[in-house]
Amino acid sequence: MPRRDGRDPGGAEGAGVHTVRGRRPRNARRKLIVVDTSVALKWVLDEPDSDHAREAMDRMLVAPDVWRVEAANGLRRAVRTGELPPQEAPRLLKVLDRAPVRDLPTPPLVPAGLELALSLGHPVYDCLFLALAIEQDCKMLTADDAFLNVVRAAAPNLAGHLLRLADFAR
């Protein structure tokens, strides 16, 4: 399924298999992983666990398409805090546009995301990613320890859908 910009996000039409640097991942048969924006930003910003985040790029990654808006906001925040020069933000946004993530429409996830947000007492944005992981019966890879802690405390039955980036291993 082509992305809105017309490029094939995965190289293997319809299979959802993503390629990195023009090759098919050797582990393409592994389960899908929902990648959240906290991980995606580590692909372009030098932060703790950026190496683990880059390893995840070889996996079959999906995310609600709102991740791109969140990533742009994360780059803005990095500029505001002095972590990133202002002229670098647009360039890094273009790098993220080429990330091996299959964008899935956010609107169908909103009802489940809202339900999760209400039960967890957490913003809907993060809950959309968890809703997608639940829908796809897969893991959500995140570097957001606060969200992990909220889910573990409020809904331990859902914690199995979460994978902490620092614990990510091939």
pTM above 0.85, yes or no: no
pLDDT at 130 over 60: yes
Domains of the chain: 33-66+101-167 (3.40.50.1010)
Cite the annotated binding site by residue number: 36, 126
94-119 pLDDT, tens digit per residue, is 999 999 999 999 999 999 999 999 99
16-32 pLDDT, tens digit per residue, is 333 333 334 444 446 89
Q: Classify 102 as helix, strand or coil.
A: strand
Cite the annotated binding site for Mg(2+) by residue number: 36, 126
What contacts 85, CB < 8 A, 6 or more positions away?
Answer: 79
CA–CA separation, 51 and 39 (whole Å) = 10
